[in-house]
Amino acid sequence: MISERSIGLGKSACLRVHYNIMSIFDDLLKGYETGNFIGTICSLAKIAKGNEDNDLIIELVTLHNEGEIDVIVAFDSLESNLLSGRDLFIALDTFSKVLPNLNSPVRPVIQCVLNLNRCANQSYSGSLIEGYINFCAKELSRPIQALAEIEENPEFLAVLLPATIIAGSRIDFNSYLAKAIRLCEYKSSKMLLRQAIFAIGKLDWTNVVNVPNSVFNTLESIAEFETDDEILANIIECAFALLQRDKAQESRVVEIIITAMTKGGEFSLHAASKIFCSNLNNLPDSLLSVLFNHLTHVNPKNTGTLHNLDEGIYKLFKKGIIEATIQFFESLLLANSNVLSMEDFKMTAEIILNTNELLSKVLTRWFLLGDSVLCEGVCTIIGSCHVNDLLLYIDSTELPSTDSKNIVFIARKAIGYLFMQPISAVSILISLMRHTTDYEVLDKLGALLFSPMFINYPGKTRDYVIRQKESESSNIKEILELAINSIDEYLDDLKAIGNLVALHPGEAQKETYYRFSSQQMEESQKAAEAQSIFTNIFSKELLLYGRKSITYIYGSDGEPHRTELPLQSHSFTIEYPRMENIDPFGLNYMLHIFRNEKLTV
């Protein structure tokens, strides 16, 4: 039915024949009149289903174009503190859909879009700019007027230059490309220059067979004489975008990027890291080599750039580009050894850990190099494994020779850095035994197996070696049996001494230590619970004693039902290094030597 309110409102209003449309119409007018216009839009958008969302957009456009409301003025009054979260997203999304069909002068639209862009965070601004582009592209005169406004007041309006150029290029590509090139020569405003370069890279080059030489000439000229880091960063991104449209210009683009990166700083490095992270499939080898050379100079404080590098390295390993990627990653860590660690590259650590061949190659090479940042990186990778007793193997291709100096050096590094993962350390020792036939080297490895490994972990390491020795060659089996016999004799000799009271702590000392240990465990548990998602999902109950817990659960009938949960025992054991109690300073000194010694040539 048609309500009385629709009569006389014009031809378009008379077409409102659905109750829902009339309801939206009335609610919008009421919200506009009471000063709650945007709040009304958000409320209507939340309950809209199916075509009702389109009805809301149609009504907003119709009301504005008929002069009953001014959508531009209403949204221009929006302040960032009035809306947040979902409501802000709904308001901006609705405006973006409405804007292209509004009849409005260009100047108030520019002011409104700028205001909304300030209110929006980065995740919301994309649709807003797309709405502005569609608005300008609707009529030939709009991008012309917008460009004139921007050139007249570049310091405040330059942020909309790329969107304006893109909108104009949808009407006349060559004309607006020429305008962007002209603005690249606009020496009085750095803002216009930055945005003009950015706009060239964002143009739709799909229907262009070859990028004009004038574009590359412009970028080369700016890269040669410009020193502004943000401008150089835009040149890097623009040049790479052009390369995707004209592969024949690879050498020229690479030279432009080299020039910009050589002069640039943190912004340039971040731009390069975005290319490295997101466009690996389109990176020619010549450009990848350039990025490798420059990205080692990253500022470790720029976490966004580090994240891009981490993801890029992960993707390169995923693609099977191993050797060049390891070399780059090594150079990156070594160049920033005091501030970077494997903790900053979690995706990279994950793929190394989960790829056996890559893990073997990395640990062999990095232990042989011996630099602390690399060896600690191996320790971090192994420590992130949630599987107990991870078995590790040496990559023979990374061993320069079977020289005893190299093999024993790797063994000592493995013990030094993986001492708290004893099975992993012992598995490396046995793997090293397989790569030598020199009995003197085998004897040295066997001595390391006995001390410090068996001496500190006589339980699990001994059991592992007993199981493993049956599958080894006779020479290795002999060394392993000798180490097993040595630890058995050592333990038998200790038992033969008997209990010496002087070597055992008194009751007061035990009690003090138990309290200290209990306090440490409690603090550790609280710290772990603070990071657990389960504390927000489940309630916590403390049972002091008993054999079962009783809970009452209310069913659909509203009555409580008794549920009994029998309590089960749970225990685990940790084998602690024996020498930590007997000679902690001697043990720490030995591990310090193993970790810090260098391989002499």
Q: Looking at per-residue confidence, does 128 or 255 come out higher?
A: 255
Average pLDDT for residues 494-512, to the nearest whole number? 83
Find the helix packing angle between 173-183 and 141-152, rounded to 10°.
Answer: 0
Find the helix packing angle between 404-417 and 422-433, rounded to 10°.
Answer: 170
Instruction: Output the pLDDT for position 22.
Output: 63
Asked if residue 12 has pLDDT above 70, the reply is no
**Residue keyed to tokens 């659960």:** 553
Q: Looking at per-residue confidence, does 440 or 14 come out higher?
A: 440
Asked if residue 333 has pLDDT above 90, the reply is yes
- For all residues of the chain together, what is the average pLDDT? 88
Question: Which residues lie below 8 Å from residue 294, measured CB to CB, with a gap of 6+?
Answer: 261, 262, 269, 272
3-state secondary structure of 559: coil
Q: Is 504 exposed, middle or buried (0-12, 13-18, 19+ CB in 10 A)?
A: exposed
- Give per-residue pLDDT as tens, 368-400: 999 999 999 999 999 988 777 899 999 999 987
Instruction: Output the pLDDT for position 20.
Output: 57
Q: In 3D, which of 420, 493, 482 has the Cα closest to residue 447? A: 482
CA dist., res. 509 & res. 173, Å (int): 84
Q: In 3D, which of 143, 151, 68 has the Cα closest to residue 109? A: 143
Average pLDDT for residues 14-31, to the nearest whole number? 66
Instruction: Output the pLDDT for position 132.
Output: 96
CA dist., res. 191 & res. 28, Å (int): 39
Q: In 3D, which of 107, 53, 44, 122 has the Cα closest to residue 76? A: 107
CA dist., res. 45 & res. 59, Å (int): 12
- Give per-residue pLDDT as tens, 89-125: 888 889 999 999 999 999 999 999 998 888 876 656 7
Return the bridge partners of 562, or none.
Answer: 552
Query: How many residues are there in the chain?
Result: 601
Under the banding of pLDDT at 50, 70 and 90, the label for residue 554 is: confident
Q: Where are the domains of the chain?
A: 208-354, 367-525+586-601
Under the banding of pLDDT at 50, 70 and 90, the label for residue 571 is: confident
Question: Which residues lie below 8 Å from residue 276, measured CB to CB, with a gap of 6+?
Answer: 283, 288, 291, 295, 308, 309, 312
CA dist., res. 173 & res. 436, Å (int): 69
Instruction: Output the pLDDT for position 188.
Output: 63
Instruction: Output the pLDDT for position 549.
Output: 81
Under the banding of pLDDT at 50, 70 and 90, the label for residue 7 is: very low
Percent of the chain with pLDDT over 70: 93
Under the banding of pLDDT at 50, 70 and 90, the label for residue 49 is: low
Average pLDDT for residues 555-570, to the nearest whole number? 82
CB 131 within 8 A of CB 174: no
Question: Which residues lie below 8 Å from residue 374, measured CB to CB, with a gap of 6+?
Answer: 330, 333, 334, 366
Asked if residue 573 has pLDDT above 90, the reply is no
CA dist., res. 127 & res. 116, Å (int): 11
Instruction: Output the pLDDT for position 189.
Output: 82
The lowest-confidence range among 14-23, 169-178, 568-577 is: 14-23
Average pLDDT for residues 1-9, to the nearest whole number? 35
CA dist., res. 50 & res. 453, Å (int): 69
- Give per-residue pLDDT as tens, 342-352: 999 999 999 99
CA dist., res. 29 & res. 137, Å (int): 29
**Residue keyed to tokens 């609610």:** 27
The lowest-confidence range among 67-76, 188-197, 366-375, 547-556 is: 547-556
Asked if residue 4 has pLDDT above 80, the reply is no
User: Greatest CA separation found in the chain?
Assistant: 111
- Give per-residue pLDDT as tens, 148-164: 999 999 989 999 999 99
CA distances to 21, 34, 202, 401 from 67, rounded to whole Å, are: 18, 17, 36, 85
Instruction: Output the pLDDT for position 123.
Output: 59
CA distances to 78, 121, 244, 501, 584 from 96, rounded to whole Å, are: 14, 15, 29, 82, 67
Find the helix packing angle between 213-225 and 190-202, rounded to 10°.
Answer: 140
> Among 6-20, 240-254, 537-551, which range has the highest average pLDDT?
240-254
Instruction: Output the pLDDT for position 32.
Output: 87
- Give per-residue pLDDT as tens, 447-488: 999 999 999 999 999 999 999 999 999 999 999 999 999 999
Instruction: Output the pLDDT for position 139.
Output: 95
Instruction: Output the pLDDT for position 122.
Output: 60
CB 415 within 8 A of CB 372: no
Asked if residue 535 has pLDDT above 80, the reply is no
Instruction: Output the pLDDT for position 405.
Output: 85
Return the bridge partners of 550, or none.
Answer: 564
Instruction: Output the pLDDT for position 306.
Output: 97
Under the banding of pLDDT at 50, 70 and 90, the label for residue 9 is: very low
